[in-house]
Amino acid sequence: MVIGAAAVSHLIIDIARQRLQLFDVASTCMGDYSVSTARNGAGELDGSGCTPRGQHYIRAMIGAGQPLNRVFRGRRPTGEIYSPELAMAHPERDFILSRIVWLCGRQWGVNRGPGVDTFRRFIYIHGTPDTEPMGTPLSHGCVRMRNADLVALFVRLKPGMPVFIF
């Protein structure tokens, strides 16, 4: 999907619909993507494995210039490129691929602060193997996207941009 040149304003992630939408400053939808949020549903507690709701912002963007399907561990590129052979050699790994958009909560006691902190929970929007289904909640809390979609979206985002998850 080609995204227009209008200035991007914010992202909305709809957990029930398993969709991520990109909006411009006039609130026109500039992109609509299928995603996969948490298998455990919505929730903010540390250790819950849930996708946190509420008002967030992009705290950090990692992976610019990396090739499609680059594998990340601890937010650092491993040098590996995802392949079915790599997956078979490491069936226990939850692969984080291509780009990482690290989110931070804005609401104290809801998604920011002790016991509920989105940033400290390492909640990202990230790429996932193309064999993983979209539109079905299967992540460990993050928002998974198709790699090609994420790479196209990534260049339109910037740190500080609002992200609303509901």
Q: Residue ranges of the domains in the chain?
A: 36-160
- State residue 78's pLDDT score: 97
86 sits in which H/E element: helix 84-89
- Separation of alpha carbons 62 and 71, rounded Å: 12
Please list the rounded mean pLDDT of every run of 10 residues in the chain (166 residues): 68 98 96 98 98 98 98 98 97 96 98 98 98 97 98 97 98
- Separation of alpha carbons 156 and 6, rounded Å: 10
Q: Which of 123, 112, 121, 150 is nearest to 20 (CA)?
A: 150
- State residue 1's pLDDT score: 45
Which bin fits 23, alpha (ψ -120 to 50), beta or left (φ > 0)? beta
Contact 150, 144 (CB under 8 A): no
Q: Long-range contacts of range 19-24, CB-CB < 8 Å, 24 or more positions apart?
A: 20/125, 20/143, 20/145, 20/153, 22/153, 22/156
Cut 0.85: pTM above it? yes
- State residue 7's pLDDT score: 85
Instruction: Please spell the DSSP secondary structure of 124-149, one letter per residue.
Output: EEEE--TTSPSSS--BSSSEEE-HHH
The CATH number of 36-160 is: 2.40.440
